[in-house]
Structure 1
């Protein structure tokens, strides 16, 4: 849920109020087949395996134990349902490694992360069904605080449920380990309203804040605290007796909670508290998640009427023709000609996925209690879904020829891109710069995207097989782009398309030129900083007097001191980012004082950069100054000015520490 950040586009609103359409009308459009090509060779489809407990158990036994061991993952739970019944629910590995407590699908609770949002969305639709909420009404009508106006358009529950509110990313207080820092949902929502950086309804940009706001709206219109509402209207009707949104866990459930691990071979970490609980606070057993899947596979079961349930699964936003669409809360993961909706979820420690094969009555849920070595759980859950689909719902994949436009379009795609799930007003803008994706046009007319790698961490090669549509080497994933007037507007892959886009990096955030210039200027700064004490010692040793005094000497020293301030600033932020990367729960306010200290260092550096410019002028106009001395003084001044601009550009100096 918290690990990723990402990106402008037309939205096709295909989900209408339930009263206006029949359930059949509200079904999503069946997934389009792979682009046909004249003469394309279509191999015979592999026969489908029998989706029975015997076959699924044998397949999982050959799949997961070795994967958990090699990935250093402590434990996992996998559940498969079909036609209203549990096919199998299996625990693998340990819920507590030290105590050798095995994972029990009936009694061990996992943290499904953002899969919690499916419960929030279901609650929203229950209130829509009851006539208490309108999907297209300004959410300010339901709130006791104000979402500031922007772009001349209001935020609605429909834009929230399609992740097109336009909110920038939020991270502070999102995940806590100290229960004392947790606040009631309303107070958590009012801590800070994130800035809207896109017009509502345009660019998918996954938002935990938006989902939490939807949960708060349910709380307000129902008159029940959010966790109690879910208990009364979802858990109890479904018999989910081992599930809760309450944090820390109630006494009766705490004993069954799985430990959470970074890797299975290390000590467990503290229980994670999700302050904006509707976005990811669920704790549940695999058996209870089976009940939830069965309800939705039964067109809402006891939770929703069929028209309302099907409205959730209908295409509500289709960013790219040929890639999966966004429903209302559920996103499409259509594969092999089958309609699939679902959701993934991550806390720092738990990593999960839920997939519903709508027309087949089949559900697949998996959750891992460790990230594993080199994020092994992320790779494992992706492959488990793909391989499960290929095993039980195989489809012949035609050998599509390369499009005639492959070379031309690869050149158009080449460049640097940032995620739509990012921030513009705080230090996380720096993370967008550091995490940019780069597309390279290869000599064989394929493209590679630096951030889209295979299990071996090697960037995949994508071959164009249709207009602005690429396929990976295994034929299991597609990438598409929206291009207008010969320029890329955005691109994404099937797994991300409904919720996260990649958009071209603006010039002031383009790592293609910023990072090389930053490297050169940092080199000049480092040399200047290190040479200052060395030169001073040499002069003292040989009693050499450089012959400058007064203001020139003061400017010289201020310039050298400024280079050391830059080194302190860069080192400080390197440490801060390392701490955040290793444990996002440190964004609970404890780093604020250090961020403020870095801002004071930056303010001093700004003064120093001004002094360096004055020094450069002084040296350049000083009689008898060497040519090299003049050149170096100018280079140092330009380097300090650039680095100060960069720090300000990525918002490392802000009046508040809201993010």
Structure 2
């Protein structure tokens, strides 16, 4: 079980409704008068946002956070009013050589923060009239993206992560430059399935962003790398930024080493096949220049009207939670509007936030995941504490009466899936350990096993409006979409622009399938072990099996298939673990193992079912005891459960796409 959970967590690391919830008049009337909650420094004077104060504040937080989290190094850049307010390096770019992080020169892999460069390039071409946000993207492609329900994908869908694509993992990353194809080839070799109608469901997509980057290539007539160097990096003075893989020779000495733990060994340079979605390498200072350009109404990159269109066009699928702009996503805080983007690879973790109205931006990057992936909490706290220090706020929330709150909490109970998911391949089986469960806490409120607090503890939720909750003592909100008196979808502020959680149909719910699978494997394992043990015992005591020939055959066949079924399930777990533990395994090196498993799994599962049925017949028609009859039924149920899981989670199926 722990191994399955580890696989699911690793995919997550590789990995982050159309209308508002319907509220009846009676439910709406349950909100009471607003309550006042003081946030931030309260009556204390708000410190001035000046270099000396920001530096002192960072010095009090960052060194301890890195040391406590066993992280290597970090860079933090704050910009204000068109200038760099401060840029600081903390810790080590390379632990072994004790090379310090230099905010001006040290390079960090940006992972998905790279997407902001792609979206900026798209908006430049929109400004020139070369791309229409609402036109079928097939107009710009030399291959076809099929429609879904007759509706095509548009550039607006790509920019808001509502193209409806299934997740793609195969060949996404590698450590070998020879395994990185051209952008066009990477996109054409595996067009993902469409699992949602366009424009309806937030489902973060690396493929969708890279598709937009390929359109930039085709429309501009320049290779993607050339385009961003000429039209984004050069105008903004980002002289230490690149999408090229491997790095140009002049930049290689500046690259920070990447770590899982600061006390561990550095990992190899991470390469991305879908470059426009995650291949940028840049210094902290260059990211500061990029923020200044966007805060300056587009600066040298685009006209003010185009920047306003990019920043202010918000798709909000689960009001009142944060929505998705054209490329940026909202991370509004303390009554201020904030636009953001994060990026995570195994060893590098980055995020930037801009406050357009305040003309302030903050960026940070780390070159280690740290203990228990502490890089995420470190940057979350950095942003929240920065906002509390310089933008304090008095939060006013309503309340829902206790009886209604308990009823709404009961409506939330169930099992949910992230909308960004691996739906059509064998990797869907990781949902058996990765689905999101909503239950009731001891006070009758909701309890969520996702989005834990900064210390890993479950958050306490208080309903502040019908089907809208806020974390007690915190700022995160959760809201649900209700259809026909049933909660069908929810999300939280930190993820709502690009991910929601949809209710899982009962027949695929891990709430019962996971324990049923574990129980079934236990029954089969005991059966397989008992077979040789009982045979040895009979031989020792000189007792022969007193069964008719046909019954003896069914007995032995069932035990044999029980052993094979346990073996094939363990093999699937080991295969997926191996596949996801190393980027290089995602490019087809283990296809032989995948094909082997796909061939033997249906044979073994169906063989187990047939033999179990045959065994039940002989046990129940012969002179067998009650326990034998009971155990024969357990074997049959176990066979049905494994076949159910194999079919529902694509362990039974053929193909090497994932």
User: Shorter-chain TM-score: what band?
Assistant: over 0.9
Give the TM-score of the pair, scaled to structure 2.
0.93
Give 1:4 deviation, angstroms.
Answer: 5.6
Question: Residues 564-597 of structure 1, C-alpha deviation per residue, up to 9 Å, x if partnerless?
Answer: 1122122222223333454445322222222223
- Choose 412-421 or 432-441, whichever is displaced more: 432-441
2:34–2:396 Cα contact (<8 Å) kept: no
- Choose 421-430 or 607-616, whichever is displaced more: 607-616
Matched, 1:201 2:178: no
Q: For the residues of structure 2 that align with 1:36 and 1:590, how far apart are their CA atoms?
A: 58
SS, match of residue 536 in structure 2: helix
Question: Residues 344-381 of structure 1, C-alpha deviation per residue, up to 9 Å, x if partnerless?
Answer: 11111111111000101101000010100011101111
Q: For the residues of structure 1 that align with 2:315 and 2:397, how far apart are their CA atoms?
A: 30
Q: Counterpart in 1 of 2:25?
A: none
**Superposition pairs of residues 226-375 of structure 1, within 5 angstroms:** 226-375=224-373
- Choose 471-480 or 369-378, whichever is displaced more: 471-480
Give 1:186 deviation, angstroms.
Answer: 0.2
Give the TM-score of the pair, scaled to structure 1.
0.93
- Choose 89-98 or 600-609, whichever is displaced more: 600-609
Greater than 6 Å deviation, 4+ residue runs: none
Cα distance, 1:5–1:392 mapped onto 2, change above 3 Å:
same
2:160–2:324 Cα contact (<8 Å) kept: yes
In structure 2, the gaps of 5 or more residues are 1-9, 22-29
Q: Counterpart in 1 of 2:212?
A: 214
Give 1:637 deviation, angstroms.
Answer: 2.1
Give 1:332 deviation, angstroms.
Answer: 0.7
2:579–2:590 Cα contact (<8 Å) kept: no
Matched, 1:40 2:49: no
Give 1:42 deviation, angstroms.
Answer: 4.8
Q: Counterpart in 2 of 1:587?
A: 586
Q: For the residues of structure 2 that align with 1:42 and 1:534, how far apart are their CA atoms?
A: 67
Task: Select which of 360, 373, 376 maps to 2:374.
Answer: 376
Cα distance, 1:42–1:459 mapped onto 2, change above 3 Å:
closer
Q: For the residues of structure 2 that align with 1:596 and 1:184, how far apart are their CA atoms?
A: 27
Give 1:634 deviation, angstroms.
Answer: 2.5
Q: For the residues of structure 2 that align with 1:439 and 1:88, how far apart are their CA atoms?
A: 42
Cα distance, 1:558–1:577 mapped onto 2, change above 3 Å:
same
Q: Counterpart in 2 of 1:107?
A: 105
Q: Counterpart in 2 of 1:519?
A: 518
Q: For the residues of structure 1 that align with 2:458 and 2:75, how far apart are their CA atoms?
A: 30
1:348–1:583 Cα contact (<8 Å) kept: no
Q: Counterpart in 2 of 1:453?
A: 452
Q: For the residues of structure 2 that align with 1:567 and 1:228, how far apart are their CA atoms?
A: 53
Q: Counterpart in 2 of 1:433?
A: 432
2:20–2:318 Cα contact (<8 Å) kept: no
Task: Select which of 163, 176, 179 maps to 2:177.
Answer: 179
Q: For the residues of structure 2 that align with 1:363 and 1:496, how far apart are their CA atoms?
A: 20
Give 1:624 deviation, angstroms.
Answer: 2.1
Q: For the residues of structure 2 that align with 1:39 and 1:602, how far apart are their CA atoms?
A: 58
Aligned alpha-carbon RMSD (Å): 2.1
Give 1:37 deviation, angstroms.
Answer: 5.6
- Choose 270-279 or 563-572, whichever is displaced more: 563-572
1:320–1:480 Cα contact (<8 Å) kept: yes
2:103–2:285 Cα contact (<8 Å) kept: yes
1:561–1:608 Cα contact (<8 Å) kept: no
Give 1:474 deviation, angstroms.
Answer: 2.0
2:11–2:580 Cα contact (<8 Å) kept: no
Cα distance, 1:320–1:11 mapped onto 2, change above 3 Å:
closer
Give 1:45 deviation, angstroms.
Answer: 5.7
Q: For the residues of structure 1 that align with 2:529 and 2:45, how far apart are their CA atoms?
A: 68
SS, match of residue 618 in structure 1: helix
Q: Counterpart in 1 of 2:12?
A: 3
Q: For the residues of structure 1 that align with 2:648 and 2:399, how far apart are their CA atoms?
A: 44
In structure 1, the gaps of 5 or more residues are 13-34
Q: For the residues of structure 1 that align with 2:15 and 2:172, how far apart are their CA atoms?
A: 17
Q: Counterpart in 1 of 2:85?
A: 87
Across the two proteins, how many residue pairs are aligned to each other? 637
Q: For the residues of structure 2 that align with 1:607 and 1:143, how far apart are their CA atoms?
A: 44
1:81–1:362 Cα contact (<8 Å) kept: yes
Give 1:449 deviation, angstroms.
Answer: 0.4
Cα distance, 1:97–1:36 mapped onto 2, change above 3 Å:
farther
